[in-house]
Amino acid sequence: MNDDFEIRPLDLLDPSREPAARDWIGVHAAAQRDIFGERGSVWTLEEVQGFVRGADKKRVARAAWSDGQVVGALEVHLPLRDNQHAAMLWLSVLPSARGRGVGSGLLAEAERLAAEHERSTLMAETEWVQGGRDVAEDFATRHGFVVAQTVLRSEQALPADRATLRGAVEGPGAEDYAFESFVDEMPEAWLDDRAVLQQRMSTDAPADDLHVTEEDWDADRLRASNARAAASGRRVIETVARHMPSGRLVGFTTVSVSAGEPELAYQQDTLVLTEHRGHGLGLRLKAANALRLMDELPEVTAVRTWNAASNEHMLAVNRQLGYTVDGYSREWQKVTEAGE
């Protein structure tokens, strides 16, 4: 309890608390707009509720109230199936309420919740616009967090040149591979191979200094994850690379489009198995997916993506596809005494 604000639990799934929940998600949106203007990445409440209903993470929400208004928002993500040492924090403060200790109060509550669930590693993200600075850097370092990864935020404008994209897909060097796509519903026949690819995302993609371990994916977990995305109103377009001699899926790329921002696609994961690299599959996958996206959802005018600064190969692929950097983020980490 603070004389200026009060931190309270918030059940994001309780219909009677919907006005507070919408104010809570509004705080996160306001923090994004303060950084990026209208180019902020904004979640809808329905999307967040879909994740809360998931079985692979426990998500605990807190709201900071002042004078009857939600001025701070916190969600603590607690993985239940893997990485059970970690707690991921999503913390935002209404710009007009900063400088009053709201962020510190919410962070203290996050650390209390992490300790309560025996989590030794806390992770959080900060962002800033191209040409700006990370205004949360002092806050993070003052509270004992260190930078574990730096990430570039980029956008590809759509529609892109179709001939260029087709040339990227059809160029020589990948004769043993075919590219297949789906819209919204993943074919059941893909699930086992795609679960392997999803698991390899946790080992093959750059993690830099993040304290993360291999994730545990199978067809059931992937099916449930896809169902939550659909229930939240997201459209999904994915392209996979099939190795024809073996018939196995060996690479994939996914974009999703929020019902709240139908003009913007979010690039999700892209992966090519290490043993199938060297054939330009990453470029081909993203080019093929862009073509399908333009066909299926012509209202989308941009694809937004995030890549680790250390992921030089994927950053080069993005440049070939016309992505331009418009911002940055940092993944911060704090290891408590229990994890040292």
Residue 295 within a domain:
yes
Residue 124 within a domain:
no
Question: Within this chain, do residues 114 and 166 fall inside the same structural domain, yes or no?
Answer: no
Indicate if the alpha-carbon torsion angle 172, 174, 177, 178 is positive or negative.
negative
Task: Say what the pLDDT of residue 29 is.
Answer: 97
Task: Say what the pLDDT of residue 55 is.
Answer: 75
**Residue 56's pLDDT band (cuts 50, 70, 90):** confident
- Phi, psi angles (nearest 5°) of residue 243: -80, 110
Residue 20 within a domain:
yes
Question: Within this chain, do residues 228 and 308 fall inside the same structural domain, yes or no?
Answer: yes
Task: Say what the pLDDT of residue 338 is.
Answer: 54
Rounded-to-integer distance, Cα 216 and Cα 220, Å: 11
Task: Summarize pLDDT for 315-325 with one digit per residue, the tens.
Answer: 999 999 999 99
Question: Within this chain, do residues 217 and 115 fall inside the same structural domain, yes or no?
Answer: no
**Residue 340's pLDDT band (cuts 50, 70, 90):** very low
Question: Within this chain, do residues 209 and 300 fall inside the same structural domain, yes or no?
Answer: yes
Task: Summarize pLDDT for 114-163 with one digit per residue, the tens.
Answer: 999 999 999 999 999 999 999 999 999 999 999 999 999 999 999 999 99
**Residue 51's pLDDT band (cuts 50, 70, 90):** confident
Task: Say what the pLDDT of residue 252 is.
Answer: 98
Q: Who wins on pLDDT, 55 or 13?
A: 13
Task: Say what the pLDDT of residue 2 is.
Answer: 65
Residue 66 within a domain:
yes
Q: Does residue 222 carry a pLDDT above 70?
A: yes
**Residue 97's pLDDT band (cuts 50, 70, 90):** very high
pTM of the shown model: 0.93
Task: Say what the pLDDT of residue 54 is.
Answer: 77
Q: What is the mean pLDDT of residues 259-276?
A: 95
* Mean pLDDT lowest among 21-30, 72-81, 125-134, 225-234: 225-234
Task: Determine if the peptide bond prior to 15 is cis (ω within 30°).
Answer: no
Residue 339 within a domain:
no
Residue 298 within a domain:
yes
Residue 338 within a domain:
no
Domain region containing 34: 6-119
Residue 145 within a domain:
no
* Number of helical H runs and strand E runs in the chain: 9, 12
Q: What is the mean pLDDT of residues 206-232?
A: 94
Question: Within this chain, do residues 177 and 309 fall inside the same structural domain, yes or no?
Answer: yes
Q: Quick one: what percent of the chain has pLDDT higher than 90?
A: 92
Question: Within this chain, do residues 230 and 107 fall inside the same structural domain, yes or no?
Answer: no
Rounded-to-integer distance, Cα 251 and Cα 285, Å: 8
Estimate the crossing angle of helix 45-52 against helix 18-36, to 10 degrees.
110
Question: Within this chain, do residues 185 and 289 fall inside the same structural domain, yes or no?
Answer: yes
Q: How many domains does the chain have?
A: 2
Q: What is the mean pLDDT of residues 171-191?
A: 95
Question: Within this chain, do residues 162 and 258 fall inside the same structural domain, yes or no?
Answer: yes
Question: Within this chain, do residues 301 and 237 fall inside the same structural domain, yes or no?
Answer: yes
Q: Of 101, 119, 137, at which residue does a domain stop?
A: 119
Question: Within this chain, do residues 108 and 226 fall inside the same structural domain, yes or no?
Answer: no
Q: Residue 220 sits in a domain of what CATH number? A: 3.40.630.30
Rounded-to-integer distance, Cα 155 and Cα 153, Å: 7
Q: Does residue 339 carry a pLDDT above 50?
A: no
Question: Within this chain, do residues 168 and 266 fall inside the same structural domain, yes or no?
Answer: yes
Q: Does residue 309 carry a pLDDT above 60?
A: yes
**Which two three-digit tokens encode residue 285?**
């996958």
Question: Within this chain, do residues 253 and 106 fall inside the same structural domain, yes or no?
Answer: no
In terms of C-beta density within 10 A (0-12 exposed, 13-18 middle, 19 or more buried), how is residue 185 classed?
A: exposed
Mean pLDDT of the chain: 95
Residue 155 · residue 326 · CB < 8 Å: yes
Q: Who wins on pLDDT, 237 or 2?
A: 237
Q: Does residue 24 carry a pLDDT above 50?
A: yes
